[in-house]
Amino acid sequence: MGPEMSQFLSGMKKTMEQVVLPNLTDRFAQEQAGIVAATLGFLEQIHDKVFHYELLENHLYRNLLNEVIVVLDGATPPQHEVAVTLAALREHVVSDPTGSDMHLRPYHYVRSANETLKEHLCTLIRNQPELPGPVRASFDALLRPFFRELEVRERAWVKPLGFDAKADELPDIEELLYCDGKLRLPDAG
């Protein structure tokens, strides 16, 4: 179906930059129109990767949380927020097990699942101080490498917005998402 989204976006950006902006006289309006043009430029670069980004996040959060369930299992009494969260996570894993047809789901389903997973992970992190020392250390050992990858992925995503002074040192989001022409899903078999 044409035109492609990128053509819509590129047309709007060009019109904004070459027709609207030069003919605006109000400084506030000029400033805002410039921001709209910059936003359109950003959307041009990422619009076709949004679904795969969420799919990758879903895969990575589920991998991490599967390991977290094992590490934290039995670490607190059953009524504790950690135990309650683990139970909810297990339910989540059962409804959408690893290797399920998540890629066939609508975008908002995947996004919703990711937000739920993030909330559960944050609840567990918030309860870290109440975990026994060795359990906490094991949990921490799972989080550190996950955080390093997450930080690079997010910076690569927002790189086209132009705030990053070290943008040249960062990979493009495309490099992180794809390998051999396919979405890169670590440990997916």
| Closer residue to other proteins, CB minimum distance, 168 or 180 | 168
| Closer residue to other proteins, CB minimum distance, 73 or 151 | 151
Distance CA 161, CA 36 (A): 12
**Residue showing tokens 């997010």:** 154
Q: For the CB of residue 166, give the shortest distance to other proteins in the complex, in Å.
A: 9
Q: For the CB of residue 49, give the shortest distance to other proteins in the complex, in Å.
A: 16
The amino acid occupying position 91 is: E
| Closer residue to other proteins, CB minimum distance, 90 or 111 | 111
Contact (Cβ atoms closer than 8 angstroms) between residue 102 and residue 96:
yes
| Closer residue to other proteins, CB minimum distance, 25 or 180 | 25
Exposed, middle or buried by CB within 10 Å (0-12, 13-18, 19+), for 56? buried
SS3 177: helix
Q: For the CB of residue 32, give the shortest distance to other proteins in the complex, in Å.
A: 6
| Closer residue to other proteins, CB minimum distance, 93 or 150 | 150
Q: For the CB of residue 98, give the shortest distance to other proteins in the complex, in Å.
A: 19
Site for other proteins, rule CB under 8 A: 26-28, 30-32, 35-36, 38-39, 42, 108, 111-112, 114-116, 118-119, 121-122, 125-126, 128-129, 143-144, 146-148, 150-152, 154-155, 157-158, 161-165
The amino acid occupying position 19 is: V
Distance CA 112, CA 19 (A): 39
Cα end-to-end span (Å), the chain:
34
